Every structure is written in C-alpha cells, then in structure tokens.
Structure 1
Amino acid sequence: MLGKQWSSLLQLIQQVSAVISILINCFLIPLILKKSPKQLGAYKWLMIYISVFEILYSILDVIVAPEHFSHGPTFLVIVGTKDKLFGPDGLTVLNSIYWGCFGASMAIFDVHFVYRWLAVSENPLLQTFSGWTIWIWFSVPLWYGLTWVFTGYFLSASTESKSEFIRDSIKEIFQLEFDEYIYLGPYLYQRMEDGSLHVHLPSLLGLGIITITIVSSIIIVVVFGYLCYNRISRLVATTSASAKFQKLQKQLFYALVIQTLIPFVLMHMPGAIMVAFVFLNIDLGIYSAVLSMTIAIYPAIDPIPTLVIVENYRKTTLKMFGCYKRTMPSSIITITGESSKI
C-alpha cells in the first residue's frame, strides 16, 4: 500500500500548493502593477508573465494530478482516470500539456537570468525587452513548451511493448488496473528473448530532447548567474559610489542566489536525476514521486522571495496586515526604488 500512501500525500501537496500559488500570485500581480518602482522597467512585465504562468501551471497540476514513475529504462508520467473531468484521450492531451509546462518553465528560468545579466551589465540588448520585441522573449518558453508537448504526445506515447513492461509494476505498487490510468514516457530499450537489446528510436530521440533542454537550461542559469555575480562583485570592488550603493549591489546578489536555488533544487536537479537514472537503468519506483512533489511545490514557493525582496511589495504587504514598522531589521533584504537593474 506504500504506493497508495504516496499518491494520497502527493495529491494533498498538489492541492495545497495550488491554493497557495494561486493566492500569492493573484495577490502579487496587483502589487506589481500598482506598487512597482518606476525604475523597475521591463522586469515588471517579466514578473507578471511568470506569475500568470505559475497560476495556470498550478491549476493544471490539480486537474491532471500527475505521478512520475521510474522503472528501469523508462520513466512515466501517470494520470489516473477515476473521478476525472476528462476521458482518457483528453487526459492524454492534458498530460502532454503538463509536459509542455515543465519544458516552458525551463525556458522561463533562462529568460529570467539572461535579462538579469543584460540589466546589471547595462548591455544594449536590454532594449529588446522594451516595446513589441519583448514578445519575442516571451515566446521562447512557448517554443520550449511546444517541443516538450511534441516529445510527450508523439515520441513518448503509450505502446504495446511499453504497456506490457510497466503493467505489473504499476498494478503492484499503485493498485491500478491498466484501464484505470493513462501515461506518457520514454521506453529507452527492450531486452528481447534472445538476450539482445532493441532500442526504441522515438523514445531515444525524446529522451535526447529532454536531456538537451534540461542540461542547456542548467548551463544558462549557471553561466548567466555567474556573470551576474562577477559583474556585481566588480561593481562593488571598483565603484567610488556611496556605501549605500555598494550595499544595494550585495543585496541584488543575495536576491540572485535565492532566485537561483529555488528552480535549481525543485526543478532542474530532480528532473536531471530522473533522466540520468533511466540511462543508468536504475529503478526509482514510487520514490520518483518526489519529482511530482517538487514540481507541485515550485509555483507556491517561487513568488515568495519577490514579496520579501522588493521593498515596495514588502512594505505594502506588511501595511495590509498591520505589521509595518518604519525601522526595518537590517537582516531583511531590501531593494529600493534605485534598483532598476534586477
């Protein structure tokens, strides 16, 4: 019954996280529109873009209630069909869209960090985040997402050999009959009766696409995160400006660290580990659900640093709850109206 217990825990986490994500992001969007420093620039629209995406992602997560499952040379995103608003075909489409949202989230991190570097380095390309050209940047996650939708729906669709391979394991662990769930996922290879290995080329291609997008996203985040850190460090070391300016630059670095760790810990690393274990033929079983949980938690946690870091939002929030004090503790990270380059 361990699989059932994991499923119940996962559904609870998905539902609670969705409620928290929707509440916080719906609270944050008006703050961004009305209380953002004028110098915030295009970053305001990037934050709104991310908040809207996280709301939609949370809603989809509750509707689909996906469970990740790793079994030898395959990993699956399983969706139960009981008590669902949609039939198997509709759930398969929604499952592929869920894949697309994960892929799009990778690109959102990338755009975020590219923008942060362009801003802190005062690169002329920062102007591309103004006017109609900002939509080109906003379309990048869409293309990533469509690539993952294609990978899930076509390259990782259910097959007879794959269903036969995972049928008994899913029944044993989750107590689900074959007609009680749908799934998408790559099946890298199959061991034939004569001992030879038959490689499934569509799955290999799909897994290759998944690997490339995850690894490239990690590289972009790490590289541009380091470039931001390096730029901020040089500004602090060489500037002749006031101590207040130097303190602000350090605070921007702390904000960068926080905003790096959240997606890296909750999205990049679990996804990378899942893919690596498929290549290594290591069976994670029901513990693959950890990835489902971290994905569900991400939209609920990600907007919180923005509420804490941006001074205007923090002060407005504290005033609304009657907790605002004129003298703020020095331990709280502050970004003032001067911080146009965040």
Structure 2
Amino acid sequence: MLGKQWSALLKLIQDVSAVFSITINSFLILLILTKSPKQLGAYKWLMIYISVFEILYSILDVVLVPQHYSHGPTFLVIVGIQHKLFGPAGLTVLNSFYWGFFGASMAVFAVHFVYRWLVVSENPLLETFNGWKIWIWFSVPLWYGLTWVCTGYFLSAPNNATSHFIRDNVKEIFELEFDEYIYLGPFLYERMEDGSLQLHVMPFFGLGIISATIVSSIIIVLVFGYLCYDRINRLVATTQASAKFQKLQRQLFYALVIQTLIPFVLMHIPAAIMFAFVFLDIDLGVYSAVVSMTIAIYPAVDPIPTLVIVENYRKTILRMLGCFSKTNPMVSSTGDMSKI
C-alpha cells in the first residue's frame, strides 16, 4: 500500500503544481509583453521561450502522471494506462517526450548564460540574437531534447530482460499488473546465476549520451556564468557605465543564477542521486517518486525569481496588490535599459 499512497501524493502534487505553473507562467508572459521596456531586446523572447517551455512541461506532467522508479540496476519512468486519453503506443511516445523536456531544460539556461555574457561584454555575436537568427539559439534546447527523446524511445525501450526483472516488484509495490502500465528506462546489467555480471550495451550507450549532454550543459553554465560575473565586476571597477546599468546587469545575472539553481536542485541533483544508486545496485524502490515530485514542482517555482528580482515586474505586482500607488515618490524610473 505504500506505493499507492506515494502515487496519490504524487498525483496531488502534480495537479497543484501544474495549475500554479500555468497560472504564474502565463502571468509572467503577460508582464513581459506589457510591462517590459520597448528596448528590452532579445531577452524578452528568451524569457517568453522559457515560460512557454515550462507551461508545456506542466501539461505533459499532468497528462502522463509519470512515476520515476528505481529497482536495482535499472531506473524507469512508469506511466499507468488506465483512465488516459492515449493508448500504450501513444503514451510511450509521450513518455519519450517527457524525457526530452528534462534534457532540454538544461540547455535552456545554458543559452541564457551565453546571452547574458554577450550583453555585458558587448560582443558582436549579440547580433545573432536579432531577427530570424534567434531561432538558431532557440533550436539548441530542441536538439538536447531530441537526444533525450531518442535515448528514451530507442535505447531505453522495454525488452524481455527488463520486463522480467521489474514485473513482480512493480506489482508488489504499486499493485499494477504488467498490462496496466508502460515504461521506459535502461536496465544496465544483470547478475547471472554464477555471480557474473552481464552488461547491456545499448542502455549503457544511451546513458553515456545523456551524461554527455548533462556535462556539456553544466560546463557552459559554469564557464559563461563566471565570465559574466567577472565582466560585471570589471565594469563596476574600471568603467564609467551608469550606476543604473550596472545595477540592472547584476539584477538580471543574479535572477538567472537563482533561476538556474532551481532545476539543478529540484531536477538534476535528485536524478543524479538516483543514477548513482542504480550504478551501485541499491534499490530506492518507491522512494524514487521523490524525483517525480521535485520535477513536477520545478516549473511552478522557476518563474518566481524573475517576478521578484526584475524591478519592472516586481513593482507592477506590488501595485496590483495595492502596496503602493503609481504616484508614490518611492517608485522611480528603471533608467536606460536599451542594453539589456
């Protein structure tokens, strides 16, 4: 019954998070379109891009109600087929897209850090974010996502060995018969009767691919995050740039840092811990559902730093809440934002 209780709690968290995510991200999009300075530039479209991404992620989470499950040297994303709009084949495809959204989330923030560095360094490549060229940057998360989709659908597809290994355990914990759910996930190795290990090559290959995407994303974030931070500090120390411009760049940089930490804490760290337990052949069982819960929460809380830290949006919210009026002398112009 423990699995049933976890499943019910997970469903509640997913539903509540999805409603909050769709609401707050839609509100943020409205603020971006109506309360941003006219010269905000490409950053406006980057913020809208990530909000739309998180809305779609939340919708997919509610449609699938996926459950992460670790059992020995395998980890699965299980989707029940009862009371669903799609059949097993359709749910398997959507499950692979769920993998894709996870992978794409890492690249989204990597692109943001590259953009922020181009702005503060006044790099000529900033022009590539104007006009149709911005779609080249927007395509980067799509390629990351497609890599995860293919890894989930082809290299982590159900097979007889995996099904035989997890069938009884899933039935015991979740009270699900084998024909009541679909799954995707790698079965890395199995222990033979003589004590030897038989490696499953394709799942290991798939895990290597998605590990490479994770490492590349982390490297991009760390490198360009440091370059951006260093450039902002040198602007303050060595130039006569306006104080408001310096303040604004710091605001946007720290908002981005906090916004990036959210998926790392709620998604990537829990998933990495689960991967480590799989390699060590330690059975997390039903407690793997914590990963499903934190992933569901991510798109609901991720917009909050932007709403709170970016001055235009924060003041608009405070006005709506009646904290101060438009004529309040404490409310001043945010200054020249043409270089955002």
Q: Which TM-score band (shorter chain)? A: over 0.9
- The equivalent residue for 1:233 is 233
- The equivalent residue for 2:277 is 277
Measured after TM superposition, the shift of residue 250 of structure 1 is: 4.0
**Count of aligned positions:** 338
- CA deviations 1:31-69 (Å, max 9, x no partner) are 211211123210001111111111111100000000001
Shift in CA distance, 145/203, structure 1 to aligned 2, threshold 3 Å = same
Q: Helix, strand or coil for the counterpart of 2:39?
A: helix
Larger mean CA deviation between 222-231 and 17-26 belongs to 222-231
- The equivalent residue for 2:336 is 338
State how far apart, in whole Å, the 2-side matches of 1:22 and 1:28 are: 10
- CA deviations 1:152-208 (Å, max 9, x no partner) are 111001111101111122112212111111100011111122222211111011111
Contact (CA 8 Å) 2:18, 2:296: kept in 1 or not? yes
Measured after TM superposition, the shift of residue 339 of structure 1 is: 4.1
Describe how 1:290-305 pairs up with structure 2 within 5 A. 290-305=290-305
Measured after TM superposition, the shift of residue 242 of structure 1 is: 5.5
- CA deviations 1:206-253 (Å, max 9, x no partner) are 111121112222222222212211111222222345655554444344
- The equivalent residue for 2:43 is 43
Describe how 1:54-93 pairs up with structure 2 within 5 A. 54-93=54-93
- The equivalent residue for 1:162 is 162
- CA deviations 1:255-282 (Å, max 9, x no partner) are 2331232122112212222222222222
State how far apart, in whole Å, the 1-side matches of 2:333 and 2:300 are: 22
Contact (CA 8 Å) 1:72, 1:282: kept in 2 or not? yes
State how far apart, in whole Å, the 2-side matches of 1:327 and 1:143 are: 48
Shift in CA distance, 263/132, structure 1 to aligned 2, threshold 3 Å = same
Describe how 1:73-222 pairs up with structure 2 within 5 A. 73-222=73-222
Larger mean CA deviation between 162-171 and 317-326 belongs to 317-326
- The equivalent residue for 1:251 is 251
Q: 5+ unaligned residues in a row in structure 1: which ranges?
A: none
State how far apart, in whole Å, the 2-side matches of 1:337 and 1:43 are: 17
Measured after TM superposition, the shift of residue 320 of structure 1 is: 2.7
State how far apart, in whole Å, the 1-side matches of 2:106 and 2:333 are: 26
State how far apart, in whole Å, the 1-side matches of 2:158 and 2:27 are: 40
Q: Helix, strand or coil for the counterpart of 1:38?
A: coil
Structure-2-length-normalised TM-score: 0.93
Larger mean CA deviation between 316-325 and 303-312 belongs to 316-325
One-letter amino acid of the structure 1 residue matched with residue 170 of structure 2? I
Shift in CA distance, 302/315, structure 1 to aligned 2, threshold 3 Å = same
Shift in CA distance, 308/265, structure 1 to aligned 2, threshold 3 Å = same
Q: Helix, strand or coil for the counterpart of 2:77?
A: strand
- CA deviations 1:126-171 (Å, max 9, x no partner) are 1100011101111111111111111111100111110111112211
State how far apart, in whole Å, the 2-side matches of 1:340 and 1:256 are: 19
The alignment's C-alpha RMSD in Å is 2.0
Contact (CA 8 Å) 1:211, 1:272: kept in 2 or not? no
Shift in CA distance, 125/244, structure 1 to aligned 2, threshold 3 Å = closer
Q: 5+ unaligned residues in a row in structure 2: which ranges?
A: none
State how far apart, in whole Å, the 1-side matches of 2:109 and 2:271 are: 14
Larger mean CA deviation between 22-31 and 58-67 belongs to 22-31
Measured after TM superposition, the shift of residue 327 of structure 1 is: 5.9
Measured after TM superposition, the shift of residue 283 of structure 1 is: 2.0
Contact (CA 8 Å) 1:68, 1:75: kept in 2 or not? yes
- The equivalent residue for 2:7 is 7
Larger mean CA deviation between 54-63 and 319-328 belongs to 319-328
Measured after TM superposition, the shift of residue 123 of structure 1 is: 1.3
Measured after TM superposition, the shift of residue 341 of structure 1 is: 5.2
Q: Helix, strand or coil for the counterpart of 1:40?
A: coil
Larger mean CA deviation between 182-191 and 232-241 belongs to 232-241
One-letter amino acid of the structure 2 residue matched with residue 338 of structure 1? D
Contact (CA 8 Å) 1:17, 1:58: kept in 2 or not? yes
Contact (CA 8 Å) 2:153, 2:184: kept in 1 or not? yes
Shift in CA distance, 200/337, structure 1 to aligned 2, threshold 3 Å = farther
Larger mean CA deviation between 30-39 and 12-21 belongs to 30-39
One-letter amino acid of the structure 1 residue matched with residue 336 of structure 2? E
Structure-1-length-normalised TM-score: 0.92
Describe how 1:24-43 pairs up with structure 2 within 5 A. 24-43=24-43
State yes or no: 1:324 paired with 2:321. no
